Amino acid sequence: MARKHKILLWLTFSAFLPAIIFLAVVFGFWFQLNTPEQEILLNLLKPLKTYLILSLFTFLFILGFVAKKMFSDYFIPLQKLIEDAEVMKNSPQKTSISSSGAKTIQQIAGLFADFAIQKKDLQENVNKKITEANINLEKEKNILASLISELQEGVLICNIEGQILLYNKRVQQYLSSQEDETGSFQRLTGIGRSVFKSISKEVIVHALDEIQHKIEHKDDHFSSQLVLPLPSGTLARMHVVPVLGKNETMTGFIIIMYDVSEQLEHDIQRYEMIQALVRGTRSSAANIRAAIESVISYKDMDSGQLSLFHNVINDEASSLTEHLNSTIEKYKKYFSLNWPLENISANSLLRLTKRKLADLKENQIEILNADEHLWLKVENFSFINMILFLIHQLNEHEINDSLKLNISKAENFNYFDILWSGKRISQEKFDLIINEQIAIAGLNFPYTVLEIIDRHNGRIWLKAEEGNQEGGIRILLKPGFVTDENNQWGSNVSFENRPEFYDFDLFSQRANSQKWEDIDLSSLKFVVFDTETTGLDPANGDEIISIGAVRIVNNKILSGEQYEQLIDPQRKLPKAASEITGITSDMLKGQPTIDKVLPLFHGYAEETILVAHNAAFDMRFLQLKENQLNLRFENPVLDTLLLSAFIHPHQESHSLDTLAKRFELTNIGRHTALGDAIVTAEVFIKLIDLLKEKGISTLGQALEASQKTYYARIKY
């Protein structure tokens, strides 16, 4: 029986208790009289029968009215006041409270609101002082996160159980599986996830065993080297180092990843080149040697035979030269010494060059803005000094007016141009400049311009067109990695609102052999999700058109590990569904179907607790696809609707909008799957605190509490 109905029954009984007592007294008095006395009393009351009955009903009506009034003006408002006060206690931003009911109740509500405002002001002052005290620490933390995030190497930190505590963008790229049929990459990396999903456990255990052996034998370097392919297809050299606690006990490990795919390709090609040279030169060299030995051994050889041997030597030498030339041409890029080239944005390279020119007090040069998504691959110290040398040489040749620097994109290359108007420079002078050893501002390089260009695998030439008064030097370079608006690589680093790539609180968490039902809610990992559908009846053909989800680890929403996917329902999209969700038929064209998406979402939610608002609805859509796709969602499921109804049984509504308003949360992206999932996650974190106040701290207790509500009986 619902708590509200129990209270109503109790109030009704309390109101009618006086009437019951009165009737008991009357009947007791009646049975104390003898028969003649009873007859006399009846004769006296008989004329008043009508008035007595009316009086009785009036009395009962008054009692009922009083009971209802007490119920609506005192008991229910008091229960709502208690529930709102519980929310207010756990939500410092909430200062409003329901003020229905009797005037006294409204006055109490007003006092609660005043106390809440005072508490909020006090909390804000405390938070301000804490923020001021920790501002330097926060800056250092953000700088560290930024540095690690933007490293070219992959950095991955795990606790001893293999749970991921920190990772950077490069690791996210390396450990994402190759592009699947949905056109996206399956992400295997995430805070709290197991690294063994991406890297073989046997390989890491082998490395840790090697490190442990070195620790026990007091070696100088506690590390291990591995080379293995990663899910993205990258071949990586991995440097594994331990994180040591007290008494040199290993509490975790760090993996630094280097992409050696290109290096391996170079090594393979160089090996093939050497083999080709050996195979092609061995027979020719042997024939030449045999011919020469014959000529030396038989000095009296007649001219005809001598001429024959001369021809053999000449033919074999020509064949050898031809083979060497063809091999060099085929493998020419592997003959050059490759410098360690780094990616740098075109605009950054131009700004660095301009600053160096200002330091050297060279003439003012105009820098043309390049495409913000344009990147080059250079060793910037040698390259910038080469550009400074070229500009200095142009000034020496009295070309110092209207100089401009520009970087532009060709089909498969980038162009670095030094441009000017007016006076030309001859090809002979240009050849002398690029073959001269670089020396500028007291800095002598052991290379010429041409050698630096060669080491960048580039080309340089004098740019001059007939009838064009503009001269220039053009340098052709290899492009760096390509970026666009939707690509996170190479994006500017922001110290605020960064995605969560680390959580060192997990260092202290070890694998728990307990059943999930016995584990504290704060220690579990959750995937909070929502779906948008074509309608409300999955059993009769309605389909999912969008799934959105976020992860919660250590009571924190991981904004950097969101999941969102539109889905082609392979049926007509009703107008009503489009109006509610904002999703149109055109948006769904070309999107993957549910049989491609659901296995990916299943992997995303693996080994977590699923959370949704009105979860029975969303889970029904998923469960109807399980047999078709041969997968099972066996995760425990928590429902914020049921939990709210358990915590606040006297609230009239438990809709997501109402809960967001009650907890004073910003509800952005309502009726989008990801937007609703984020709001549901924020609500869920608030509910966890309220559950603990009611003695509900474990998953098993939360599941049991959910089943005690009326809403748990709703089926789809």
Determine contact, residues 353/405, Cβ cutoff 8 Å. yes
Same-domain status, 350 and 329: no
pLDDT winner (highest mean) among 89-98, 455-464, 487-496, 539-548: 539-548
Q: How confident is the model at residue 656 (pLDDT cuts 50, 70, 90)?
A: very high
Q: Say what the pLDDT of residue 283 is.
A: 77
pLDDT at 280 over 60: yes
Within the chain, what is the greatest distance between any pair of CA atoms?
A: 175
**Domain stops at, among 277, 310, 339:** 339
Q: Say what the pLDDT of residue 335 is.
A: 56
Catalytic status, residue 671: yes
| Closest among 527, 528, 531 to 542, alpha carbons compared | 531
Same-domain status, 309 and 330: yes
Helix axes 3-32, 76-90, angle to 10 degrees: 150
pLDDT at 498 over 80: no
- Flag whether 104 is in a domain: no
Share above pLDDT 70 across residues of the chain, in percent, rounded to a whole number: 77
Q: Say what the pLDDT of residue 287 is.
A: 80
Same-domain status, 346 and 314: no
| Closest among 496, 606, 591 to 549, alpha carbons compared | 606
Higher pLDDT, 131 or 622: 622
- 114-123 mean pLDDT: 72
Q: Say what the pLDDT of residue 574 is.
A: 92
Higher pLDDT, 440 or 389: 389
67 vs 487: CA distance, rounded Å: 66
Residue 502 pairs in a beta bridge with 166
- Flag whether 115 is in a domain: no
Determine contact, residues 557/678, Cβ cutoff 8 Å. yes
Q: Say what the pLDDT of residue 14 is.
A: 61
Determine contact, residues 507/252, Cβ cutoff 8 Å. yes
DSSP state of 439: E
Q: Say what the pLDDT of residue 98 is.
A: 62
Same-domain status, 590 and 526: yes
Same-domain status, 271 and 320: yes
pLDDT at 493 over 90: no
pLDDT winner (highest mean) among 21-25, 93-97, 471-475: 471-475
Higher pLDDT, 4 or 536: 536
Q: Say what the pLDDT of residue 184 is.
A: 47
Determine contact, residues 169/488, Cβ cutoff 8 Å. yes
Q: How confident is the model at residue 501 (pLDDT cuts 50, 70, 90)?
A: low
pLDDT in tens, 226-262: 888 888 888 888 999 999 988 888 999 999 998 888 7
Distances (CA, A) of 170 to 4, 126, 148, 175, 487: 56, 39, 10, 9, 13
Q: Say what the pLDDT of residue 253 is.
A: 94
- Flag whether 545 is in a domain: yes
Same-domain status, 384 and 274: no
Same-domain status, 233 and 330: yes
Q: Among 432-436, 445-449, 471-475, whose mean pLDDT is lowest? A: 445-449
Determine contact, residues 259/227, Cβ cutoff 8 Å. no
Distances (CA, A) of 95 to 112, 135, 293: 8, 28, 105
pLDDT at 492 over 50: no
Same-domain status, 71 and 85: yes
Q: Say what the pLDDT of residue 533 is.
A: 94
Same-domain status, 303 and 406: no
> What CATH number corresponds to the domain at position 447?
3.30.565.10
The first and second tokens of residue 11, run together, are: 């109030």
Q: How confident is the model at residue 316 (pLDDT cuts 50, 70, 90)?
A: confident
CB < 8 Å & 24+ apart, contacts of 87-95: 87/648, 87/662, 87/663, 87/686, 87/690, 88/112, 88/116, 90/686, 90/689, 90/690, 90/693, 91/663, 91/664, 91/686, 92/119, 92/120, 92/123, 93/120, 93/664, 94/662, 94/663, 94/664, 95/120
**Domain stops at, among 438, 466, 485:** 485
- 96-107 mean pLDDT: 66
> What CATH number corresponds to the domain at position 248?
3.30.450.20
pLDDT at 206 over 80: yes
pLDDT at 331 over 70: no
pLDDT winner (highest mean) among 184-188, 202-206, 283-287: 202-206
- Flag whether 499 is in a domain: no
Same-domain status, 675 and 647: yes
Determine contact, residues 409/374, Cβ cutoff 8 Å. yes
DSSP state of 518: G
End-to-end CA distance of the chain: 23
pLDDT at 339 over 70: no
pLDDT at 281 over 70: yes
The first and second tokens of residue 532, run together, are: 């948008």
- Flag whether 410 is in a domain: yes
- Flag whether 144 is in a domain: no
- Flag whether 119 is in a domain: no
Share above pLDDT 90 across residues of the chain, in percent, rounded to a whole number: 25
Q: Which of 239, 373, 397, 671 is catalytic?
A: 671
pLDDT winner (highest mean) among 68-72, 323-327, 503-507: 323-327
Task: Spell out the alpha helix ranges (H) of 585-672.
Answer: 585-588, 594-604, 615-623, 626-629, 640-647, 656-662
Q: Say what the pLDDT of residue 617 is.
A: 92
pLDDT in tens, 585-643: 999 999 999 999 999 999 899 889 999 999 999 999 999 999 999 999 999 999 999 99
Higher pLDDT, 373 or 415: 415
DSSP state of 520: B
Determine contact, residues 372/345, Cβ cutoff 8 Å. yes
Distances (CA, A) of 202 to 171, 198, 208: 20, 12, 10
Backbone phi and psi for residue 298, each to the nearest 5 degrees, phi listed first:
-115, 80
Q: Say what the pLDDT of residue 37 is.
A: 73
Give the count of domains, the chain. Answer: 4
Q: Say what the pLDDT of residue 401 is.
A: 66
Q: How confident is the model at residue 466 (pLDDT cuts 50, 70, 90)?
A: very low
Average pLDDT, the chain: 79
Higher pLDDT, 302 or 252: 252
Which residues are within 8 A (CB) of 165 and not within 5 positions of it... i.e. 6 or more apart?
A: 157, 158, 159, 191, 252, 502, 503, 504, 506, 507
pTM above 0.85, yes or no: no
Which range marks the domain in which residue 83 is found? 1-89
Backbone phi and psi for residue 624, each to the nearest 5 degrees, phi listed first:
-70, -15
Same-domain status, 372 and 328: no
Same-domain status, 470 and 585: no
> What CATH number corresponds to the domain at position 613?
3.30.420.10
pLDDT in tens, 139-149: 766 677 677 77
Q: Say what the pLDDT of residue 532 is.
A: 94
- Flag whether 235 is in a domain: yes
